[in-house]
Structure 1
Amino acid sequence: YKTKLCEKFEREGECPYHHKCVFAHGESEMRGAAPKFNDNPLYKTRPCQRFAEQGACPYGEKCQFAH
């Protein structure tokens, strides 16, 4: 959570998720490194609802759900 910069905020100067965004909006919001996702036994164990319904997911490989 907030261990990487928000690409949309960096690119466009704003983010549609505002304070609900899980990515940092600037260095001041950055936190220490989070545990690796592959250490989490639940990582990508549930299907991505967007991918299932729409055939695509805007998060691509960064999605925490299975495609």
Structure 2
Amino acid sequence: MPKVKTNSAAKKRFKLTGTGKIKRKHAFHSHILTKKSTKQKRNLVHDTTVDRTDERRIKALLNV
């Protein structure tokens, strides 16, 4: 059997935590920042975890 390849896009976007959850960055923080409020931009800086309904799908892409 051939090796199962990790999805390259998922590899760049997600990281596993020590407890097995998946960390992700917030969207809407890369460009067109002039029209967004300071509060909105500040809240987009922090990482968050992937929703549990999506975890199984993303773990399959990461071969975890």
Q: Same fold (TM over 0.5)?
A: no
Relative contact order, CA 8 A, sep 6+: which one is greater?
Answer: 2
TM range (shorter): under 0.3
